[in-house]
Amino acid sequence: MPDKPWVAFYWCASCGGCEEAVVDIGEKILEVVQAVNIGFWPVAMDFKREDVEKKPEGFFVASFINGGVRTSEQEDMVKLLRRKSKLIFAFGSCSHLGGIPGLANLYSRNEILNYVYKESPSTDNSQNIFPLTSFEDNGYALHLPEFYDRVYSLDQVIPVDYYIPGCAPPPDIVTGALEALIEGNLPEKGSVLSPNKALCSTCPLNETKPEKLLIRQLKRPHEVQADPDKCFLTQGLLCMGPATRTGCGERCIKAGMPCRGCFGPLDNVLDQGLSMLSALASILDFSPEELSKLEETLEACPDPAGTLYRFSLPASIVKEKRRK
């Protein structure tokens, strides 16, 4: 079918869940392959880098790239795909914001390599073997990609046209994006393909939230049996709903868990974590005279960076832990 447009799928620093998310659209995938040819999808089909290299510039109508960028190989591949594609879709939280692998930005490259190759309890590396980018043995040269100092969101490495949010993106968001591409009615470039409203505004538990929400305690999800029918924030569980964009179908809420923020911030919010920090400060009902009580309460949030930036550290203003 020569006149069908070509698309590509690729993964970088991600868990593989986003590849699943493509397959999760179920029988809709049949409609997709009727409308487009898949010209590159290493996880599912046999393709090599040369298959992309051979193509002319702008050959793919769209490339869907999941995962953040942590290695030289990932950088090289996404730059190649950028040249060969008319549109780039950042697919999933890691590509959109850096994602959970982006929390590695709280540690230095050396701390990570040392722990993984030396210090972790299950590692025995008495010969001090660490990965090298090139190695020669018996006349054979071996090469490994370089492991960068930090994780980057995709748009910190190449220009991105659209963002498909979520960890992983739910089927209707993926289908919606593919349909918009095929039918040619994509919104303005740079858009995140989910509604620009806070999760709270569509959450079924929102009506259980008092008009003026104030809390006197914070709890951690594993410490309590949460009431699944009552707004989690009202129960003192840190729910990222106020600072997270909607569109996921309130998946976690319906499963009895507070939102962890995977859809990222709303448009024009520079920093999802700080936006939640601000919201939390507003509802913690402690006066300046109760400072020590407040400090005690905040002990229930021992890892603010990991909680507030669970999916968005690399794309936040903070980006990483400063160390030099």
146: closest CA among 131, 158, 156? 131
Do the Cβ atoms of 265 and 243 come closer than 8 Å?
A: yes
Q: Based on CB atoms, which residue is closest to ligand SF4, 121 or 210?
A: 210
User: 76 CB contacts (<8 Å, ≥6 apart)?
Assistant: none
Q: Does 147 bind another protein (CB under 8 A)?
A: no
Which of the stretches 55-63, 94-102, 120-128, 147-155 binds another protein when contact is defined by CB under 8 A? 147-155
Examine residue 168 and say whether the peptide bond preceding it is cis (omega within 30 degrees of 0): yes
Rounded Cα gap, residues 205 and 284, in angstroms: 20
Q: Choose which of 22, 158, 203, 215 interacts with ligand SF4 (CB under 6 A).
A: 203
CB of 294 to another protein, least distance (A): 6
Do the Cβ atoms of 105 and 311 come closer than 8 Å?
A: no
Do the Cβ atoms of 130 and 46 come closer than 8 Å?
A: no
Contacted by 200, from another protein, ligand SF4, none: CB < 5 to 8 Å by type: ligand SF4
242: closest CA among 213, 222, 285? 213
Using only the alpha carbons of the chain, give its radius of gyration: 22
Q: Does 200 bind ligand SF4 (CB under 6 A)?
A: yes
- Which tokens sit at 93? 């939280």
Number of residues lying near another protein (CB under 8 A): 42
Q: Choose which of 81, 193, 262, 280 interacts with ligand SF4 (CB under 6 A).
A: 262
Q: Choose which of 169, 236, 241, 265 interacts with ligand SF4 (CB under 6 A).
A: 241
- Which tokens sit at 261? 């923020």
Neighbours of 227 (CB within 10 A): 14
- Which tokens sit at 35? 């409308």
Do the Cβ atoms of 220 and 300 come closer than 8 Å?
A: yes
Q: Choose which of 156, 191, 196, 234 interacts with another protein (CB under 8 A).
A: 156
68: closest CA among 98, 104, 92, 103? 98
Q: Does 287 bind another protein (CB under 8 A)?
A: yes
Contacted by 19, from ligand SF4, another protein, none: CB < 5 to 8 Å by type: none
Q: Choose which of 15, 106, 112, 213 interacts with another protein (CB under 8 A).
A: 106
Neighbours of 266 (CB within 10 A): 18
Which of the stretches 92-100, 202-210, 241-249, 316-324 binds another protein when contact is defined by CB under 8 A? 316-324
Tell me the residue type at 126. S
Q: Choose which of 9, 89, 91, 263 interacts with ligand SF4 (CB under 6 A).
A: 263
Q: Does 76 bind another protein (CB under 8 A)?
A: no
Q: Choose which of 213, 226, 277, 300 interacts with another protein (CB under 8 A).
A: 277
* Residue 20, helix vs strand vs coil: helix
Q: Choose which of 205, 215, 276, 279 interacts with ligand SF4 (CB under 6 A).
A: 205
Q: Does 259 bind ligand SF4 (CB under 6 A)?
A: yes
Neighbours of 171 (CB within 10 A): 16
Interface residues toward another protein, by CB under 8 A: 69, 75, 106, 148-150, 152, 156-157, 270-271, 273-275, 277-278, 280-282, 284, 286-289, 291, 294-295, 298, 301, 303-306, 308, 317-324
Interface residues toward ligand SF4, by CB under 6 A: 199-200, 203, 205-206, 209, 231-233, 239, 241-242, 244, 248, 250-253, 258-263
